Structure 1
Amino acid sequence: MRLFRGAQDRRHAKRLQDQLELIEAGLMENLEFASSVADAPARYLMEAGGKRIRPMLTLLTSELGEGPNEMVRRAAQAVEMTHLASLYHDDVMDDAKLRRGVPAAQTVWSNSVAILAGDLLFARASSLVSGMGEEAIMLQARTFERLCLGQLHETVGPQPDDEPIPHYLQVLADKTGALIATAARMGVMFGGAPTTYADAVMEYGERIGVAFQLIDDVIDLSPKADQTGKRAGTDLRAGVATLPLLLLRQSAEGNSADAALLERIEDGVARIASGEDPALLDPEVEALRAHEVTRETEATARRWATNAVAALDVLPKSQVHRALERMADSIVNREG
């Protein structure tokens, strides 16, 4: 994710990269457990790598004030640990086979071990935040609540009175946007930035979180497995209702060709669930990728990213502002 350009920006990038390395070292230290039974699974996803969008955002927003310090780095570690913990739980809930290019934790150990490893990370994140003041503790608690609610609403699905697409977008805001928003607010809180910036960066964070997941819906259909790290249509084959599928369902109500495609997809998902070869859905994955609903999903992601940047109007024009704009742009233009 290239956030900086030019000589001055490159020096800025180097400073932040140095801080990110300190955060990485702190994460490794805080994820050590005396018990070998706990240590290996708890460190597993951390060692698999990742984009570290949340810690970078905490560092960036701290520069709206006095910049990174020990408390900013501690906040960044707590947010990233919370994110990692949620991945263990998500993979169990979704029966995922891969995460970050490696086998999902529950396929290496078991569902129970993966869930408990996630719980250990949540505990360590809470321990870090516990010494950072009441505001941070309450922010962490509210964020954790939203993560749980997002997963619950995704699992149960929309209720009879719910519109499927707004329901889906709210799930994305809770499961992904909430924690990215918290990462942004933590930087303002502990970097000594004006409190008037806090709501703006939270709004920015939540919106880029939704944009991130919507682009993931598009990437899920990509045939470029070397970039995405997974087979095209992984979510579709698993019966996950991402935005392209929800838009197709909407379109199918008045379009016979879309209704036929939807019927083939739903039949294929049912057959895969009963044990048939996932490859049977290859033609439908390709058809959905080429369909206008996938372009509409991408356009929706771009609108969320544009609105995220608009939320930053209260911030001064600066290297940080430009970097936040580029972060939003990078999120919607990534291919994996």
Structure 2
Amino acid sequence: MTSSRVAPGSRLASRLGFSDRVFIGTAGRRVAQAIEEGLERVETGLADDVRVADPLADAASRYLYEAGGKRIRPVLTLLAAQLGDGNIDAVIDVAKALEITHLGSLYHDDVMDGADRRRGVPAAQTVWGNNIAILTGDILFSRASQLMSRLGERAIRLQADTFERLVLGQMHETLGAQPGDDPIEFYLQVLADKTGSLIAAATQGGVIFSNASSAYEEPLRVYGEKIGVAFQLLDDVIDLSAKPEDTGKVPGTDLRAGVPTMPYLLLKAETDDASIDLAARIDDGVARIADGADPSILDGPLAELRDHVGTSKTRALAHSWTKDAIAALTALPRGTVREALTRFAETLVERSS
């Protein structure tokens, strides 16, 4: 007796929530099935690759992996790889390595941002403390490098360059815009480094290590970076959501911790009295929280920011970056992969609608 097969695209649908709008028609379903098969290999490999012999390190390393995640980076790596030889071993290793790199960055980000929750569970540092959370992220970065080292110098360079941008993005976010910097342009560069670079590595890696045409490498790198920025801009909008189940975090987590987001920066750029007053109240609340006040003092101002023009402008900006990402795909051959990448980008911007 053979086991019943799950309909192609169903696992992707449960992960992404919109795969039925990305993979359309017979050819699209074939690609979706190939990606699902690749994801099964990625998931099986991740379960092994994040294990550590030390009991504490093992529990901490598996913590956020086991909390779930949409695996957007592996999905994009596998999708790009369909332009070449598909789900070969090198592609699976790259997909795993970049997802582990992403996981490691979450441990560090949550420490630096003082986040309480991640993926619907308490953030790692609230369970084990800052030091263990940071060291766990370091372990995961090491595991990612080990995976990439199997594939030679090109993979090691891709990993190193991406990791450098991740670190620089976090450093610049921590320091903030300096005198002479345009705050909005500065923030967009931070997003490109912190989020866009890793998604760019995913799409670029899918091309390189599936032996696809090198002509596709730069267009997909650009696509990935721009999608990453658009994705994070929409996360800034979703971060203001009144529904914690949308984010797995307390609404306004970033702003309460004093981390600027695009809606806030666009609010600060407004010159009307109401905007100036709201920005002042948010700044005052952030300062008071830093001095030990209850973070709930910002509930009202953040609700106002959610309905402010700065938030709608952030959505519009995300749409603009998404259009630029799609434009980069014109260098790819017409077909299922290009169509799926286009629909993925188009559907992505609907997350905060």
Q: Deviations over 1:124-165 (max 9, x none)?
A: 111111121211111111111101100000001111121111
How far apart are 1:255 and its partner, in Å?
Answer: 1.6
Distance 1:130 1:22 in 2: 19
Structure 2 match to 1:260: 277
Deviation, structure 1 residue 285? 1.1
Letter in 2 for 1:28: A
2-structure distance, mates of 1:282, 1:106: 24
Give, in whole Å, the separation in 2 of the partners of 1:33 and 1:236. 35
Tell me how far apart the structure 1 counterparts of residues 292 and 82 of structure 2 sit (CA, whole Å): 52
The alpha-carbon deviation at position 43 of structure 1 amounts to 1.0
Q: 1:138 maps to what in 2? A: 157
1:330 matched to 2:310: no
After TM superposition, the structure 1 stretch with the greater mean CA deviation from structure 2, 261-270 or 199-208, is: 261-270
> Which secondary structure state, in structure 1, belongs to the residue aligned with residue 115 of structure 2?
coil
SS of the aligned residue for 1:65 comes to coil
Are the equivalent residues in 1 in contact too, given 2:50–2:61 (CA < 8 A)? Answer: yes
The answer as to whether partners of 1:220 and 1:235 remain within 8 angstroms in 2 is yes
Residue type of the partner of 2:301?
E
Does the C-alpha gap of structure 1 residues 232 and 37 become closer, same or farther in structure 2, counting only changes over 3 Å?
closer
Offset from partner CA, 1:19-56 (integer Å, 9 cap, x none): 10110100111111111121110111111110101101
Task: After TM superposition, give the deviation of residue 335 of structure 1 in Å.
Answer: 4.1
Q: Structure 2, unaligned stretches of length 5 or more?
A: 1-15
Deviations 1:282-332 (A, max 9, x none): 221111111111000000001001100100100011111111112212321
Query: Equivalent residues in 2 for 1:197-208 (5 A)?
Result: 197-208=216-227
Aligned CA-pair RMSD: 1.3
State the 1:258 CA deviation.
1.1
1:79-228 to 2 correspondences below 5 Å:
79-228=98-247
- Please give the alpha-carbon distance, in whole angstroms, between the structure 2 residues aligned to 1:228 and 1:118: 21
State the distance in 2 between where 1:287 and 1:33 align.
Answer: 46
Equivalent-residue separation in structure 1 for 2:168 and 2:31 (angstroms): 38
Q: List 4+ stretches of structure 1 deviating above 3 A.
A: none
Percent identity, aligned pairs only, is 56
The match for 1:11 among 30, 48, 53 is 30
Could you say what secondary structure the match of 1:333 adopts? Answer: coil
The answer (yes or no) to whether the contact 1:31–1:42 under 8 Å persists in 2 is yes
SS of 1:169's equivalent in the other structure is: helix
Query: Is the CA contact 2:116–2:249 (under 8 Å) kept in the aligned structure 1?
Result: no
How far residue 224 of structure 1 moved from its aligned partner, in angstroms, is 2.1
CA contact (8 A) 1:228 1:335 kept: no
2:331 counterpart of 1:314: yes
Give the partner amino acid of 1:168.
Answer: Y
The residue correspondences of 1:277-292 to structure 2 (distance < 5 A) are 277-292=294-309
Shift of 1:234: 2.0
Equivalent residue number for residue 231 of structure 1:
250
Match of residue 68 from structure 1: 87
Aligned to 2:45: 26
1:259, distance to aligned residue in structure 2 (A): 0.9
Matched, 1:244 2:228: no
Query: Distance in 1 between the 2:235 and 2:55 partners?
Result: 35
Quick check: 1:215–1:332 contact (8 Å CA) kept in 2? yes
Deviation at 1:174, TM superposition (A): 0.3
What SS class does the counterpart of residue 191 from structure 1 fall into?
coil
Q: What's the secondary structure of 1:132's corresponding residue?
A: coil
Structure 2 residue aligned with 1:40: 59
1:227·1:335 contact (CA, 8 Å) conserved in 2?
no
- The aligned amino acid for 2:67 is A
2: CA distance, partners of 1:85 / 1:281: 30
For 2:309 and 2:232, locate their aligned partners in 1 and report how far apart those are by CA, in whole Å: 18
Q: 1:243: how far off?
A: 0.6
SS at match of 2:209: helix
- Which residue is equivalent to 2:313? 296
Q: Which amino acid in structure 2 is aligned with residue 41 of structure 1? A: A
Residues 57-113 of structure 1 deviation map (CA, whole Å, 9 limit, x = unaligned): 110111111211011001101111111111111111111110100111111111111
